[in-house]
Amino acid sequence: MKSIKKYIYSAMKKIFLVIILVFGITLHPILSGASERISTSQTKTGVLAEGMKKEFEFYGNENESILITLSAEDELRYVVQIFSRESTTPLRQTLVFPNEEKEVIFTPPKSQIYTIRLTGAFRYGDYRFEIRNISNKKNPQIAQRIGLNQTKKTAIAEGQAHRYEFYGKENTPLIFYSKSDGNVWYSLQIIDPETETVLRQKWVRRNEWEDVIFTPQESKIYLIKITGAYSYGEYFLNMQKIPTR
Q: CATH number of the domain that 163 lies in?
A: 2.60.120.380
In whole numbers, what is the pLDDT of the chain averaged over residues? 83
The pLDDT of residue 99 is 86
- 165 vs 137, higher pLDDT: 165
Overall domain count for the chain: 2
Residues in a beta bridge with 235: 154, 180
Sign of CA dihedral 51, 81, 83, 116: positive
**Shared domain check, 157 and 117:** no
**Residues 5-20: what's their mean pLDDT?**
45
Cβ atoms of residues 114 and 48 within 8 Å: no
The pLDDT of residue 141 is 57
**Shared domain check, 125 and 23:** yes
**Shared domain check, 128 and 10:** yes
**Residues 150-173: what's their mean pLDDT?**
91
The pLDDT of residue 142 is 67
**Residues 5-26: what's their mean pLDDT?**
44
**Shared domain check, 126 and 149:** no
Q: Identify whether 139 is part of a domain.
A: no
Show the domain range for 198: 144-241
User: Would you state the torsion angle of the CA atoms of residues 226, 229, 231, 236, taken in this order, to the nearest 10 degrees?
Assistant: -30
The pLDDT of residue 5 is 44
Contacts of 199 (CB under 8 A, 6+ apart): 190, 191, 192, 214, 222
The per-residue pLDDT for range 115-156, each reduced to its tens digit, is: 999 999 999 999 999 998 877 555 555 678 999 999 999 888
Which of residues 93, 113, 133 is at a domain's end? Answer: 133
DSSP H/E element including 5:
helix 2-19
**Shared domain check, 171 and 121:** no
**Shared domain check, 162 and 201:** yes
